[in-house]
Every structure is written in C-alpha cells, then in structure tokens.
Structure 1
Amino acid sequence: MFNVTLSFMFVFCDNTLLSVQFVTSVVSCCPAELKQETNGKKVTLKGFNVKLQDTILFPEGGGQPDDHGLIGDVPVLRVTRQGPEAVHFVCTPLEVGQEVPVKVNWERRFDHMQQHSGQHLITALAETMFGYKTTSWELGRQRSTIELDTPSMKACQLQELEEAVNVKIRDCVPVNVQLLSIDDPAVEKVSRGLPGDHAGPIRIIDIIGVDANMCCGTHVSNLSHLQVIKLLGTEKGKKNKTNLIFLAGNRVLKYAEKSYSTERSLVSLLKTGPDEHVEAVDKLQKSVKTLQKTNLSLIRDMAVLIAQNFKNNPLKSNFFSLHKKEGDNEFMNIIANELNTEETLVFLTVGEEKGPGLFLLAGPTEPVSKMGPRVLQLLQGKGAGKNGRFQGKANSLAQRGDVEAFLRQEFNNFTTEEE
C-alpha cells in the first residue's frame, strides 16, 4: 500500500471539486523510457522515473488505468507500481530531496472512480441475481466491459440488472474502505489471491449490504456519486463467456449528448424524424445497391465499347493506353480480353490521376515480363505477372506519362528486333 501524507489541499470552483493536491518530496529520479501510442503510431519517449515519499497518483492496477497529474509544473504521463512503491514517468528531471506539490487530474480520477465502483456493483448483483461470476473486466477510454462466466445473457436479464443497480444508486448506499492485516481471519472471505510482491495491509472495498471485495483501485464513497449506470448490451466473449458493456456516471451524460448531436445531424441529412431514421437509411442502402449494380453494368459496357472502338480504328497502332478515374480490375480485364494482346501492348490504369490506383499491363509474354518490374518501380506499386499479364496496385500514378513513354520505346524496340 502507499503512505499518503495528510497535508491535502482541495480546490473548488462553484462547489465543484477541480483538483486534489498535496506536498511531498522527491526520493529518486532516474533516466527511463516510455513506450506509448500516439495517433496510431508507437513511439518511445525519453524521460525519467520518479519516486516520491508519498503520492496521491494511483498506479495502474486492478483493471484500472493510472492517474495523470502534475509534480510541480511537470506533467506525469504514466504511473506504475513496483512492489509497495509508485513510479511516476516524467519528461523533465526533478531534484532529489526537493519538496514538490503533487496534483491529480481530477476529471480523469473521478471518471475512473465511477467506472470502477460501477463495475463492483454490477459484478455483485449479476452474481447475486443470476449466479454469473465476473472473470475479468476492462476500464476502456469510452466504455467499460465486464467478462461474465456465462455463454449468453437474455435481454430481460439485462434490463432487470440495469434496474437493480440503479435502485442501489438511488438508495445512496455508502461505500467504505477497510484496511485489514494479512493475518486477519476476515481476509479469507474476500481474498481472491494476492500479487507476489504485495506488501502492507489488505484493502477492502465494502459496498454496504451489497458486496465486500479486496481492491487496490479508487472508488466513490457513496453509490449516489455514480449518478446512473447504463448497460449498453452484450457481446460474445471468449471460451463461452459474455462481455457486458456499460457506462457509469458522467460517461452516460456524454453518451446522451453525443447521441443527441448525431440524431440532430441525421434529421438534417435524412429529412425525417428520429423514429424514421432506420427506415430512411434502409431505403438509402437499397437505392445505393441498385445504383451500384447499374453503374457496374455501364462500366462493363463501356469497357467493351472502348476495346471495339480501338479495334475498328484503321489507324490503330500496336500500343493501347488508357486511364479512367472510375473503374476497377474487372473494367481493365474486360478491355484486355477484348483486344488481341498477342500483338498489342495494353497499359491501363484506374484511380486518381496523381494518387493511388490500379494498373494492368498486357501483351506478348516476353516484353511484359521484362517491362513489368520497371512499371512497378515508376508507379511505386506492388504486383505480379504471368502469361502476358502484369497487374497490381499503384501508390502513385503521378509518373504515368513516364511509364507510357517507357513502354512505347521498349515495345518498339522489341517489335523491331522481331522483324
């Protein structure tokens, strides 16, 4: 467990708690690295691991993410646990021995408190009402998930459980914290096994009359602080288990606000009321499918006409090149199939003129196999070929003109050598 100083400072604005902070001292500061994901990319930050005499920042554990906050004016990006100590990752070094104020990001902390206490409540009632034990849980960034040891859960059970948890919230049930020594007989009733590096007393979260469980996480002091819990539904879990998805507290309000904003946008786009949105979207999807089929048929007919027009041209050459923004592999293959590629070299592309797209090179086997790799290089693409066809994806069609010039020159050389 962590020793916490008593010199707290609570910051309020209009009776709203904005932050909790206190003063402690720096015990150690060592160079370190932090691997994290930024905008979908994994990056490694160079910084420092800081240990404090005391801390109010919760280290990741028990299914709950870590707290964020400040040490002085230095942001804390990660808090992890090493035995009985919390390690704070920062990007700026701190002087060992100096006194520093530590401030927790209260919005993040309170959100985690609501989700974690909500999980304890749902878990307890799911087992009491239906015998469904919780095997794990995840506090996600937008929604949380409880893994229940049951292959399925009926809709009526979901509704009954949601009503039951919200009754407990309205009843303002207290949530108490108990600290028990490891040899206290009461520990056996709530212990599910301790980490190998555990030190200090055992911390029990007791929802009075509902549930008492060993837990290291942060929790509300009364179920009324949860405001409300919404069970969004279930998903099939692993190994005959069910994932129950839920929101608690402020997340429910944010979800409602986002849903209303989406609803207003759909009203504007679909020109119908909210109750008619599903029907309107269904009609649109059917219309789009019909248009897609019609468009595909027209593209196929166009491909045949393009090929016939070339074949009927008395001044046609032995090289045919075409770019079409709209089209696909089938469009290009229809053209190539309609033409005599044993004598004619065909170079086709579809997609954005200077952006990504698809390409097809068709013609006599020998020149196609020799020229294909160079075409790939110029189009920054990937592809392969055999039997007089070389096709694939182009990352950029910006050098299409250079490809065409290269093909004309090389094919002329080939046909000259043949003669």
Structure 2
Amino acid sequence: MVTERLYYQNQYMRSFIARLQNSDRDEKGRFYVILDQTAFYPTGGGQPYDTGTLNDVNVYDVEEIDGEVRHYIEEPAEVHNEYTGEIDWNRRFDHMQQHTGQHILSAAFEEVFNYRTVSFHLGAEICSIDLDAGSLSDEEIVHVEKTANNIIMENRPVETRWVSEEELSNFSLRKEVSVVDNIRLVIIPDFDYNGCGGTHPDSTGQVSSLKILHWEKQKKKKIRVYFVCGLRVLKQLDEKHKVIQCLTNTLNTPQQDLNEAAVQNLRLNQGLEKKVNELNMELIEYEADSFIEQAEPQINWKIAKAIFHDRPMPELQQLAKRITIKSDRLLVFLINQKGEKLQLVCSRSNDVVINMNDLVKSVLPVIDGKGGGNDSIAQGGGDRIVSAEELMVELMNQAAAFKSE
C-alpha cells in the first residue's frame, strides 16, 4: 500500500494519527514501521528527513522505498491499531525556511546574472548551491542577496500545484522536472516556477531573511555558494558577534579596526619568528662546535653522540648536518626520547666511508621502527622497546661492524 503524504495536504501539521501497515527490520538490522498515512517527510529533493516520535518512540530516519515511507525507530514497534505521530517542528520549519530560501536564491542568481543552479545541499548548519559559473564578484553577491531578501520582505505567496506533463508548457520552469507523473510545482508568482517535492511555508516572509556567507571555486567551472536562512541567520550573527567581541577584547581594538590590528600582529609575529629562527641557528652553530670539541676519538674516526628528551626532529637533523660539515673524520649519533618513542639521526663527514642509510636501517628492528635517508645522513623512529642508552650502544656496535666489513 502506498503511504498517504499528509505533509502535502498541510505542511504545518505537527501531529497525526495513522494505522500500522507493516513493521520489519532492514538489511542493516534497523527497525522500521510503515503507516497508511504520515506527516513525516522522507529524505528527497535535497531536503533531509523529519524526526519526531511514534507512540513516544523516537523516529531517527525516514526513507521512501517503492512508494512506502519507512519510519526508522529506536526499538521494535509494539503492535497497535493506531499510532500517534509527533513531528519535531523546529527541525521541519528550519528545513522549510532553508529550502524555500534556496528556491529564492537560485531564482535570483538566474534572473539577475543567468547563473544556473546545478545542485543544492541542505546541511545541518549551513546550506550551499553550486552555480554553473566560472567566477563570482563581491558586487554580484551583494546584488543577488539584496534581490533575494526583497522577495522575502515582499511576503509573496508560495503556492504548490499538481500538474500533468502536458500542462508544464504553461509555466516558465527554472529547470526540467525529473518525473512524468504526479508532478508538483512550487511557485512564487512572477519570480520562480520550479518542480519540487519538498515542504515550504505558504509565504516568502516566513523565510525571514537570507545571508550569503562565502563562496569558493569548484571543479569544472562551478562556484559553490554557502548561505543560511531564517533562524540560522540569527545563530550565525550570534556566533560571529561572540568571536568579534572576544577579538576586540584580546586585541584591545574596536571592531572596525580588527582587520588592521590582526594584520599588524601577524607581521609582528612573522618578524619575531624570523628572529627566533636566526637565533636558534646561531645556538645550533655554537652547539655544533661544542660537540666537535667533545667528540670521542676512535681508531679511524671520532664520534659525537648525545641523548635528548623531547627535542624537535628538524633541530636534530640541522645539528647533525652542521657538526659533520664543520669537521673531518666524524660520525654523529643523536637520539631523542619522546614519550614512549625513540628517534635517531645519524650523519657522517664526507671522508668517512659508512653508509648512514644502511646503518640506521640496521638498528631500526631493535625499536620496531621505520626510517631512511641517504649515505650521508639518515633518520628514523620507533617504540621505546629498549632504553635510549641501549640504542646508542647498538649504534656504536653496528658502526664498528660496518667498518670491519
């Protein structure tokens, strides 16, 4: 039996009574019921499903399958002759505002600039449309947004009409309809004529307002425009006001000067970061000299080695490079302990004939690690299965073994 759609008779219906037609579980094990009639809107046409309750059991999803509307419920349905349905009205009305706002916005883009909408997404927080356009300017956005809000403020009627395929020629449709039977048009007179099966308020004024948030380029010369309508506009305003208020307090700057203050702070931070990097490089140079002076003499070379805790890997790599660049006949073994992990960097002077990539890979199994590099410098990391001191001993032994080979 095909379910009767009460939301098409009265989109403002918040509760209803229906009879059970079937109850079952789908292939995912979800419980659902099918009623003889329903005010729950199933997912379709870019509009998400309604939620609510059936006999006080939560309805968390609604889908249409083969003309039947499945109401997915959190627990198995008890057998009742009648079911009382309650719609989550806040969710329903929000969807009505967003969906009608999309109709208005898409019609405005097409009427003013001939930019056609090719897709629509009604998200939980923000909506979007994709336009068949290569670019979009600030001026165009301002113009379209003003046009859309003028239509909303004029409080034009939003009409629905069921028509046959033959009757479609009587209307200036924004796009071709996707069905040939039971064709439903949503009409804003003298502005928008569109095939749609969604729920809409009966006047544009109930959309309240529309705000375009931002836009970005997509593939294949498309522009995605993000927007909100109705109560979501107030929510966005509230969230952004809180952020701006925090920034005015943090930067000690009035709202109108926030951008300039932020730019100045970024420039200052960039300058400070550059100075810190320069000073850090100077420290590494001094540190490299100290390691060279304290290097331990071996038969064929010297070894500079150290164990660190929570030192950034890029610093260790830079330190190892500077040590070997500034000295001959030198091997560098640096190990870093970071929580339950061990990291290592090994490098050599140009006149030492040991492949550092091979050396590092020879000790990585000890820490179940991964890594690599080239014959002059290599690095790796793994689990702290052994201590840092034990790993250093293993490195020394492997280096000796490489020499003996």
TM-score (norm 2): 0.83
Does the aligned pair in 2 maintain the 1:158–1:233 contact within 8 Å? no
Distance of aligned partners of 1:4 and 1:96 in 2 relative to their CA distance in 1, 3 Å threshold: farther
Distance of aligned partners of 1:229 and 1:5 in 2 relative to their CA distance in 1, 3 Å threshold: closer
- After superposition, where does 1:27-66 map in structure 2 within 5 Å? 27-32=21-26, 46-66=29-49
1:257 Cα deviation after fit: 0.4
Distance of aligned partners of 1:359 and 1:91 in 2 relative to their CA distance in 1, 3 Å threshold: farther
CA distance in 2, matches of 1:124, 1:27: 40
Give the letter for the 1:4 counterpart: R
Q: Share of identical aligned residues, percent?
A: 25
1:139 Cα deviation after fit: 1.6
1:349 Cα deviation after fit: 3.1
Does the aligned pair in 1 maintain the 2:44–2:197 contact within 8 Å? yes
Does the aligned pair in 2 maintain the 1:228–1:252 contact within 8 Å? yes
Partner of 1:372: 361
Which of residues 151, 154, 166 in structure 2 aligns to 1:168? Answer: 151
1:93 Cα deviation after fit: 1.8
Cα shift readout 1:50-90 (whole Å, capped 9, x = no counterpart): 32222222222112222222223332332222232222333
Query: Does the alignment pair 1:202 with 2:183?
Result: yes
CA distance in 1, matches of 2:70, 2:107: 32
1:270 Cα deviation after fit: 0.7
Distance of aligned partners of 1:413 and 1:142 in 2 relative to their CA distance in 1, 3 Å threshold: closer
Does the aligned pair in 2 maintain the 1:322–1:349 contact within 8 Å? yes
Which of residues 347, 355, 379 in structure 2 aligns to 1:362? Answer: 347
The secondary structure found in structure 2 opposite 1:318 is strand
Q: Which runs of 5+ in 2 are unaligned?
A: none
- After superposition, where does 1:247-326 map in structure 2 within 5 Å? 247-313=228-294, 318=303, 320-323=305-308, 325=310
Which of residues 230, 234, 246 in structure 1 aligns to 2:211? Answer: 230
1:285 Cα deviation after fit: 0.8
Q: Which runs of 5+ in 1 are unaligned?
A: 11-16, 35-45
Q: Identify which range, 328-337 or 71-80, moves more after superposition.
A: 328-337
- After superposition, where does 1:344-363 map in structure 2 within 5 Å? 344-349=331-336, 353-354=338-339, 359-362=344-347
1:367 Cα deviation after fit: 7.9
Does the aligned pair in 1 maintain the 2:316–2:345 contact within 8 Å? no
- After superposition, where does 1:131-146 map in structure 2 within 5 Å? 131-146=114-129
1:236 Cα deviation after fit: 2.1
Cα shift readout 1:12-66 (whole Å, capped 9, x = no counterpart): xxxxx9x9222223333333366xxxxxxxxxxx522432222222222112222
Cα shift readout 1:154-178 (whole Å, capped 9, x = no counterpart): 3333222222222222221111222
Does the aligned pair in 2 maintain the 1:187–1:202 contact within 8 Å? no
Query: Does the alignment pair 1:74 with 2:57?
Result: yes
Distance of aligned partners of 1:261 and 1:249 in 2 relative to their CA distance in 1, 3 Å threshold: same
Partner of 2:378: 390
Does the aligned pair in 2 maintain the 1:9–1:22 contact within 8 Å? no
Query: Does the alignment pair 1:123 with 2:106?
Result: yes
Give the letter for the 2:65 counterpart: Q
Does the aligned pair in 2 maintain the 1:329–1:358 contact within 8 Å? no
CA distance in 2, matches of 1:417, 1:228: 75
Does the aligned pair in 2 maintain the 1:148–1:242 contact within 8 Å? yes
CA distance in 2, matches of 1:90, 1:65: 16
CA distance in 1, matches of 2:320, 2:254: 47
Give the letter for the 1:369 counterpart: D
The secondary structure found in structure 2 opposite 1:302 is helix
Give the letter for the 1:318 counterpart: I
Query: Does the alignment pair 1:192 with 2:180?
Result: no
CA distance in 1, matches of 2:31, 2:328: 65
Cα shift readout 1:243-286 (whole Å, capped 9, x = no counterpart): 23322111110011011100111012111111111111111111
Q: Pairwise CA RMSD of aligned residues? A: 3.4
CA distance in 1, matches of 2:102, 2:280: 55
Does the aligned pair in 2 maintain the 1:336–1:346 contact within 8 Å? no
Tell me the number of residue pairs that the alignment of Structure 1 and Structure 2 aligns.
391
1:193 Cα deviation after fit: 3.4
Cα shift readout 1:274-333 (whole Å, capped 9, x = no counterpart): 111111111111111111111212222222222211221276783512326454425523
Does the aligned pair in 2 maintain the 1:383–1:392 contact within 8 Å? yes
Distance of aligned partners of 1:232 and 1:371 in 2 relative to their CA distance in 1, 3 Å threshold: closer
The secondary structure found in structure 1 opposite 2:371 is strand
CA distance in 2, matches of 1:205, 1:120: 9
Partner of 2:15: 21
Give the letter for the 1:105 counterpart: D
CA distance in 2, matches of 1:281, 1:74: 51
Give the letter for the 1:372 counterpart: K
CA distance in 2, matches of 1:304, 1:77: 63
Q: Identify which range, 242-251 or 400-409, moves more after superposition.
A: 400-409
Partner of 1:37: none
Does the aligned pair in 2 maintain the 1:137–1:147 contact within 8 Å? yes
Partner of 1:155: 138
Does the aligned pair in 1 maintain the 2:295–2:303 contact within 8 Å? no
